[in-house]
């Protein structure tokens, strides 16, 4: 019997991770050891120069070492591709999938295909990406066409590797909302390996539905989840308790979907206090999940 059928959330235990983009001041091995010691189930691994550089000449050897370390520590992993300057030291997130220069777009496509292969070698449950901001002077129809064309070879690689690509709606980007994701999904013909990264804070920031309703609406396409606190109309990733989100209903909705991937804390601007935020975040989430699962009127 499904959780929806019997009203129970016990069938799906949420698995919590922490993003390495919020631990940028730590060596990767130290970050993984920290998360294991704190009791996290996994890690959102952003491919970047300070951790696992996707452009390193000895990439294969580095990936093998990381895979062995994850296995030793018992950590699950998702591969994230939101590094700020991994391709261009002067342009944040540049070049994007929407860049007017086809050669520049191809560099981003190559990075995502590398990410898919790395994810397969690590046993990751998904590869995360986003569209990028529409360049000045580019109309929306052209931008959507570029995005679909750029993602086609990435999805081919994802299918070959049997690793889903999870596109994230990002405030300010061409693909900013759940409605935008569905536009892309239809454009790409409901590709089997195209899924969704749902950022809970982004739901609070700009979606018309409450975050828990966003989770339910996104459930069929959900391949990766990021989580943090946030305020309505302000795209600022906040530690838990500093924003407006009521987390037990969100985690209840997520557990009820049967989602099996990682739910990764996303605090990329808090690396200066990354270990402390990691230590505080997991008890908060576990407490919220326990409150979500407790029978009404009882205390977990």
Q: What is the pLDDT of residues 247-258, one digit of tens each?
A: 999 999 999 999
Supply the CATH classification number for the domain 17-292: 3.20.20.150
Q: Which of 6, 107, 131 is nearest to 54 (CA)?
A: 107
The stretch 191-217 carries a mean pLDDT of: 98
Asked if 16 and 265 count as a contact pair (C-beta separation under 8 A), the reply is yes
Distance CA 137, CA 153 (A): 26
Instruction: Cite the beta strand spans of the chain per DSSP E.
Output: 15-19, 42-46, 76-80, 127-129, 165-167, 194-199, 222-227, 229-231, 234-238, 262-265
The stretch 89-104 carries a mean pLDDT of: 97
The stretch 145-173 carries a mean pLDDT of: 98
Q: How far is CA 235 from CA 131, 173, 218, in A?
A: 17, 12, 20
The pLDDT of residue 243 is above 90: yes
Q: Band of the pLDDT at 294, cuts 50, 70, 90?
A: confident
Q: Supply 267's token pair.
A: 């605090």
Q: Band of the pLDDT at 299, cuts 50, 70, 90?
A: low
């Amino acid at each position: 019997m499904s959780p929806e059928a019997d009203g129970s959330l016990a069938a799906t235990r949420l698995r919590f991770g922490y993003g390495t983009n919020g631990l940028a001041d730590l060596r990767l091995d130290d970050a993984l050891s920290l998360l294991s010691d704190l009791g996290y189930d996994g890690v959102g691994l952003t491919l970047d120069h300070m951790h696992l550089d996707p452009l390193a000449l000895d990439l294969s050897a580095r990936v093998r070492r990381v895979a062995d370390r994850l296995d030793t520590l018992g950590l699950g992993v998702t591969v994230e591709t939101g590094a700020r300057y991994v391709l261009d030291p002067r342009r944040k997130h540049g070049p994007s999938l929407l860049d007017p220069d086809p050669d520049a777009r191809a560099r981003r496509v190559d990075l995502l295909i590398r990410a898919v292969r790395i994810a397969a070698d690590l046993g990751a449950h998904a590869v995360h990406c986003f569209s990028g901001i529409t360049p000045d002077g580019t109309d929306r129809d052209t931008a959507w066409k570029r995005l679909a064309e750029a993602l086609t070879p990435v999805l081919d690689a994802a299918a070959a590797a049997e690793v889903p690509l999870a596109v994230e709606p990002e405030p300010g980007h061409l693909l900013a909302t759940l409605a935008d994701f569905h536009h892309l999904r239809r454009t790409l013909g409901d590709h089997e390996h195209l899924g969704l990264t749902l950022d809970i804070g982004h739901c609070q920031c700009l979606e018309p539905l409450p975050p828990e309703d966003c989770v339910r609406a996104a459930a069929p396409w959900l391949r990766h989840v990021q989580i943090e606190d946030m305020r309505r109309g302000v795209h600022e990733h906040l530690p838990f308790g500093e924003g407006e989100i009521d987390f037990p209903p969100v985690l209840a909705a997520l557990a009820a979907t049967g989602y099996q991937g990682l739910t990764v804390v996303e605090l990329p601007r808090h690396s200066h206090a990354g270990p402390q935020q990691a230590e505080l975040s997991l008890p908060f989430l576990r407490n919220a999940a326990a409150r979500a699962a407790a029978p009404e009127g009882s205390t977990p």
